[in-house]
Structure 1
Amino acid sequence: MDLLAEAPSLVILAATCISAVLWGSSILSGAVAGLISLGISSVVCAKWDRGRLVVALSVALLSLSISWWCSARMGMVSPPLGMASGEVVLERSWGKRVAMVIKGDQGAVVAKVSPERSFLEGTKLEWTGRIEPLMEPRDGNPFDERLYWLARGVTGVLVPKEMVYRGDGGGIHYLRSVLRERIQSSLPPLTRGYLLAALLGDRDPELVEPHSRWGTAHLLAVSGFHVGLVALLAWAFPWRGRWKWIIVSAFMWMYVLLAGAAASALRAALMVQVALWGLAFGRRSSVVNSVAVASLALLMYRPWWFWDLGWRLSVVSALAISALMTVKVKRRWITVLCASPLLWTVTAPMISGAFKTVPLAGAVLNTVALPAFSVLLPLAVLFSLPSLMGLPGGGLVAVVPEGAFALWGYGASMVEGLPVLRWSPWMVTLSCVSLGAILSIRFRVSPVRAGVLALILALFVAYFYN
């Protein structure tokens, strides 16, 4: 099958993303998406018949509709001016202050306060003060704070005069606070940092710095790797009965909510859910198409996720790895060895565009990092349970994962001296050619047609980051 027949949602996703960057108007954005979709379809299809024409026109119409919807949603932002109470659903450091996301009946706002005035997640509050619109981007500052908070569901800024505690919520956010306190108070440093990242989505600055040098910072962000690992472990458990997929789904979504429901985790969970439905009802779907469907669903729910680096890295990585792993080859170990260099290549421009540099060490370390952490993280949770439960001798048991993480750090530091690369048009070209090549091989697109798509994609990425 060709791309238009097996993964039409990928065409819609590409058209929607490109039009979102090029046009702000919802009408123009929709029209551009429809035209881009037709253009991509004409390039990827070498042979045309009535059936393919109907599919191409349907895909173009869906591209137009979804792009219009996303663009229109982005123009409907208004701060919840009358809101005076809510529950803290996120708490994180923001320079010398603490940023609290507070969700109420009219929406969500962010309050930036001093540490002594902050409240834990799961706390119910009432306040007096004013709510302002989100801050527009400043000239010369590459960080767009408005898009950052919109991607997290926040539509206003709370400037409080007084905040009053009104009890604990008792839901998932309160559970996150309790678990965070237990992890911070009962586990040694490395185990504490890794479990905070894997279970709650919190980043320990002492771990972020070395992992940034090693090119393995994605291990500290809840992503498809973590969601897939939880789903795999839940599936491996000897559940009985035909409703096994429901139990696995429940465990997976509970984990996603506990870990903070980041865009990358939601994308992975939606994709795994589609696969579980396929297993339950005997209908297998294209993995690449499932990635695109999950990504489009998230954009329709919250279009600002497109500007979130985690969402883009998650989608591009999932597309590359799903296309690679579904290419039919006689020796599967070849694709396994190619996975880490391919992921590094396709994500390098985005990482270097955001952080100015990207370490070459990541291409080497990630070959062993994912297999290693697929074992280390479950064992760390298992060996940390006695300490988290306050059992006698729990601290001694927790020494085991601490030593394993220390050993990992020692090994990773040995390749730390590899070069650090800066963003360049050549990096963008290599990334787009690599992604275009693996997709063209997977969907049997001719080299000339794949080259045209890769060139268009490279120009788009270069425009986006400049």
Structure 2
Amino acid sequence: MIPERPLVIPLAFLAAGSLAEYLLAIPFSRLIPVVLLVLLVFALPFRKQVLFSCLLALFWMSWEMAALAPRLDIRNVRTGISGYEGKQLLVEGIVVRRPAILPEGERLVLQVERVFAGSAESLSSGSLLLTIAKGHGSWLTGDRIRCPVKVRVPQLLGLPGEFDYGRYLTLRGIEATGWIPDAESVVLMRGAARASWQRSIDSLAMRSQEFIRQCLPDSAQRGVVLALATGNQQEVPPDVAAAYTRAGVTHILSVSGFHVGVVTAVWVIMLRWLMLRWEWLALQLDLRRAALLSTLPVMLLYLVFTGGAPATARSVFMVAAVVLAAWSEREIDLLDALLLAAFVLLLQDPAVLFNLSFQLSFLSLWGLLVLTPLLTKPVEHLLKQEWQRMTVLFFAASLAAVLATMAPVLASFHQVSFTGIAANLVVVPLLGYGATVLATMAVPLSFFMPSFAALVLMFTGWLVQLSNTFVQWIARVPVLHSFSAGSTDVVITIALLAVLGFVHGRRTRMYAGSLLLVALVLVHLWPGPALDGKLRMTFLSVGQGDATLIQLPDGRTMLVDGGGYLRDTGRDFGERYLVPALHGLSVKQIDIMVLSHPHPDHLGGLPAVAEQFKVGEYWQAKGSAQGADYQRLINALAHQKTTTRILQQGDRLQVGEGVLVSVLSSPQGEQSLKTDNDDSLVLQLQQAGFSALMMGDAGFPVEEMLLSQGIGPATVLKVGHHGSKTATGESFLRRIKPNVAVVSVGAGNSFGLPADETLDKIRHQGAVLYRTDQQGTIQLLSDGHTYTVGPLVTENGLVRAIRRFALTASNQLR
């Protein structure tokens, strides 16, 4: 295997090095790969293949660790611009990447040069990701700009399964983020302060994007055409992007190998046709070889023009390898070309391994190459006509790509669609062979023949409209969701593809592949931990919001509120945070969903949960509420025919053996759900001698009412209104005498919560205080008599132990 595919071992250990450094985040000296390289040279005369192979593997692994370590080194934290976290500054710097145009604003990366804090000016460094909420500017790569910004370093909320946005930015070389309300506050200090050839290409790309916007007024058509022609997916409307995802054809919106191949093929055909018209040139040159060679600069230009995404870079490297092989009249194995492309990309940037676009692009093509022949072989003897073979090949290729990427897609998006196997039959011809070619042709034409280019874009828009209509229709087909895949599934998938692609012995391949498939099935069929009869309350750290997952002793689940953004951000809180957290806690379905009141920081995450999980019952107070999120929640529950229960004060509900939920307070006498904090549902959960009081956002008036009704002691208090000074009075605390108090609050929130006076009252009462802003997600276990409580540990214990050992060793060697 190694002699036939010499890149397998280096690529595997490059990936292992990146993964090891990502997980451990330890200081790693660049001297180590240098020492290993010297040892490799000294090992050459001994002709010990095993020794040489081991040293070579260690060299590539150490090379990647040394390259990635400076970005993840914790000693670099709070240096440069990140040291100004939470401060309002005036910053000046150079735009280092092409600005991304958003529907309402713009996003760009700034290499900071100077910082102005009040009257003080100081030099600074580091990259800052700026988001302009409203308006657009004419800035390009290399421009120096100055703008007011509040610096923020992204932090983890402390949820299981949470996407580490801060580390994602760190891998891209970005230290902090900043938010600017309006583009008018950004001042251009000097255009082209740092000249580069990329600036010229970016200028052409921005002009092309503006031309497309002018020609296509429909936002759905315009967004898709911009994605196909220029690689800008930011302007695809969210509902259209969601439909393409549910239909399983979202790959067509990302410039990748398919687009590169189509553009390259069209270029070769057109160029050969033109060259054949010139008789003298046809006699002097080998037109086929000349046309092939001309694709190299075209592909490089296309790569830079469309933004240089990892999937596009992988495709360009692969196609370039194939073109050079064809030009030199040599054969090349496509799997070798794929390995070469991945090797070059990892060598150039070790962080690309953690780019989802690169992962899906690499795995899908790997699956196409090794699974498609296996899927077509059983029926190929039945295929007599060419159209039959092409149809079966098309379906097999689509199925191969879905199977190869299923594990990472489920791990990232928690849903996968098989409708893409059929949808590709319609979408690929319309967008791939039609709209992509026309839109790409319209870009250069827009500079010389704008009227004709506008006509071409009009036809492109029609094709996109047909595709969008079809996709919106087929997206109604149910997708596979509420199914969790993890790192084990991804590892087994990669191992299976490796066996099928690199092991040549038929019997060995069959046995190894069968064992891996059995292992994959057993991972999901293996019974989970046996029920231990304990009640689990998990107070999810959802920032400035509220969400509590209750796992009953009989295994059923109850979700009270779903967190959410206080202001409209254009993002889905549930999809981004709550759904991954539930999957991280191995939740398969929600038996009871409760909405305490329809504030966005309690409601916002529930619609996504209702769309992706089976919900048995839904509880709320009497009436209905306004707003898109509430309506989306109700529609999702109606779609799966969830039973709705209207709660009223005094209701007592048995939710499991020995577990009782009492409604202590609810809105009265209204036809619509009230939005005042004191109209929250107040629930008490009881299990034998244990009780938990969940106050929602209720304040002093509700507490006084509960006191007048004779409320008794509670073991746990879910503190009302995030620890506000308008809740949790002294008399109330003296009556309920909580042993534990939990405050759900966002770190560094603008409301100054929790209030110091509230915390002082809780401590004075003697309750043990837990805060989600400081300790992350809090989990409590109770058997009805005793309980344990503490922060939920989300990091793998083995990884934590290895990191501690490695850090100790590196400190001793330093």
Provide the TM-score with structure 2 as the length reference: 0.47
Q: CA deviation at 1:177?
A: 1.4
Distance 1:293 1:58, change over 3 A: farther
User: Is 1:215–2:248 an aligned residue pair?
Assistant: yes
> Secondary structure at 1:171's aligned position in 2?
helix
* 1:436–1:453 contact (8 Å) kept in structure 2: no
Distance 1:419 1:12, change over 3 A: farther
Report the Cα distance in structure 1 between the residues aligned to 2:473 and 2:103, rounded to whole angstroms: 32
Aligned twin of 2:7: 9
Q: CA deviation at 1:12?
A: 3.7
Report the Cα distance in structure 1 between the residues aligned to 2:521 and 2:51, rounded to whole angstroms: 26
Q: Deviations over 1:104-152 (max 9, x none)?
A: 8987542234434855444611437899796454422722223433454
Q: 134, 144, 165: which is aligned to 1:125?
A: 144
Return the letter of the residue paired with 2:428. Answer: L
> Secondary structure at 1:115's aligned position in 2?
coil
Q: 82, 94, 100: which is aligned to 1:86?
A: 94
Q: 29, 50, 59: which is aligned to 1:65?
A: 59
Distance 1:151 1:298, change over 3 A: farther
Aligned twin of 1:183: 212
User: Is 1:342–2:404 an aligned residue pair?
Assistant: no
Aligned twin of 1:407: 466
Aligned twin of 2:328: 281
Aligned twin of 1:145: 165
Report the Cα distance in structure 1 between the residues aligned to 2:96 and 2:6, rounded to whole angstroms: 40
Larger Rg: 2
CA RMSD of aligned residues (A): 4.2
* 1:131–1:156 contact (8 Å) kept in structure 2: no
Within-5 A mapping of 1:377-416: 377-382=436-441, 391-392=450-451, 398-416=457-475
Q: 188, 193, 200: which is aligned to 1:164?
A: 188
Report the Cα distance in structure 1 between the residues aligned to 2:316 and 2:505, rounded to whole angstroms: 25
Return the letter of the residue paired with 2:512. Answer: R
* 2:407–2:489 contact (8 Å) kept in structure 1: yes
Report the Cα distance in structure 1 between the residues aligned to 2:340 and 2:139, rounded to whole angstroms: 35
Return the letter of the residue paired with 1:193. Answer: G
Report the Cα distance in structure 2 between the residues aligned to 1:340 and 1:441, rounded to whole angstroms: 24
User: Is 1:248–2:295 an aligned residue pair?
Assistant: yes
Bigger shift: 431-440 or 290-299? Answer: 431-440
> Secondary structure at 2:398's aligned position in 1?
helix
Q: 110, 122, 131: which is aligned to 2:129?
A: 110
Report the Cα distance in structure 2 between the residues aligned to 1:158 and 1:431, rounded to whole angstroms: 39
Distance 1:85 1:95, change over 3 A: same
Return the letter of the residue paired with 1:411. Answer: F
Aligned twin of 2:477: 418
* 2:156–2:164 contact (8 Å) kept in structure 1: yes
> Secondary structure at 1:164's aligned position in 2?
strand
> Secondary structure at 1:5's aligned position in 2?
coil
* 1:13–1:295 contact (8 Å) kept in structure 2: yes
Report the Cα distance in structure 2 between the residues aligned to 1:80 and 1:455, rounded to whole angstroms: 51
Aligned twin of 2:501: 439
Bigger shift: 199-208 or 217-226? Answer: 199-208
> Secondary structure at 1:89's aligned position in 2?
coil
Bigger shift: 283-292 or 322-331? Answer: 322-331
Between Structure 1 and Structure 2, the one with more helix by share is 1
Bigger shift: 132-141 or 254-263? Answer: 132-141
Q: Highest relative contact order (Cα 8 Å, sep 6+), 1 or 2? A: 1
Q: CA deviation at 1:321?
A: 1.5
Return the letter of the residue paired with 1:306. Answer: L
Distance 1:353 1:435, change over 3 A: same
Aligned twin of 1:74: 68
Unaligned runs of 5+ in 1: 32-50
Distance 1:457 1:73, change over 3 A: farther
* 1:317–1:346 contact (8 Å) kept in structure 2: yes
Report the Cα distance in structure 2 between the residues aligned to 1:199 and 1:393, rounded to whole angstroms: 16
Distance 1:154 1:219, change over 3 A: same
Distance 1:228 1:117, change over 3 A: closer
Q: CA deviation at 1:450?
A: 3.1
Report the Cα distance in structure 2 between the residues aligned to 1:74 and 1:256, rounded to whole angstroms: 24
Report the Cα distance in structure 1 between the residues aligned to 2:107 and 2:407, rounded to whole angstroms: 29
Q: Deviations over 1:270-299 (max 9, x none)?
A: 111111221222332321122122112212
Report the Cα distance in structure 2 between the residues aligned to 1:450 and 1:316, rounded to whole angstroms: 17
Q: CA deviation at 1:317?
A: 1.0
The size of the alignment, in residue pairs, is 439
> Secondary structure at 1:110's aligned position in 2?
strand
* 1:345–1:434 contact (8 Å) kept in structure 2: no
Q: CA deviation at 1:383?
A: 6.5
* 1:91–1:98 contact (8 Å) kept in structure 2: yes
User: Is 1:449–2:475 an aligned residue pair?
Assistant: no
Q: 298, 311, 321: which is aligned to 2:368?
A: 321
* 1:88–1:120 contact (8 Å) kept in structure 2: no
Report the Cα distance in structure 2 between the residues aligned to 1:396 and 1:128, rounded to whole angstroms: 40
Aligned twin of 2:675: none
Return the letter of the residue paired with 2:484. Answer: S
Provide the TM-score with structure 1 as the length reference: 0.77
Q: CA deviation at 1:222?
A: 1.3
Q: CA deviation at 1:257?
A: 0.3
> Secondary structure at 1:4's aligned position in 2?
coil
Distance 1:126 1:372, change over 3 A: closer
Within-5 A mapping of 1:183-202: 183-189=212-218, 190-202=220-232
* 2:105–2:136 contact (8 Å) kept in structure 1: no
Report the Cα distance in structure 2 between the residues aligned to 1:459 and 1:150, rounded to whole angstroms: 36
Return the letter of the residue paired with 1:86. Answer: I
* 1:383–1:401 contact (8 Å) kept in structure 2: no
Return the letter of the residue paired with 1:112. Answer: T
Return the letter of the residue paired with 1:296. Answer: F
> Secondary structure at 1:419's aligned position in 2?
coil
Report the Cα distance in structure 2 between the residues aligned to 1:428 and 1:14, rounded to whole angstroms: 18
Q: Deviations over 1:391-433 (max 9, x none)?
A: 5576565443332222223333443333211233599489568
> Secondary structure at 2:2's aligned position in 1?
helix
* 1:342–1:434 contact (8 Å) kept in structure 2: no
* 1:197–1:220 contact (8 Å) kept in structure 2: yes
Aligned twin of 1:307: 354
Q: CA deviation at 1:96?
A: 8.0
Aligned twin of 1:40: none
Aligned twin of 2:669: none
Identity %: 20
Q: CA deviation at 1:261?
A: 0.1
Return the letter of the residue paired with 1:144. Answer: D
Report the Cα distance in structure 2 between the residues aligned to 1:378 and 1:128, rounded to whole angstroms: 40
Report the Cα distance in structure 1 between the residues aligned to 2:8 and 2:438, rounded to whole angstroms: 37
> Secondary structure at 2:110's aligned position in 1?
strand
Q: CA deviation at 1:448?
A: 1.6
Report the Cα distance in structure 2 between the residues aligned to 1:412 and 1:112, rounded to whole angstroms: 31
Report the Cα distance in structure 2 between the residues aligned to 1:163 and 1:100, rounded to whole angstroms: 14
* 1:191–1:405 contact (8 Å) kept in structure 2: yes
Return the letter of the residue paired with 1:373. Answer: L
Unaligned runs of 5+ in 2: 33-46, 83-90, 114-124, 276-281, 382-388, 525-582, 585-814
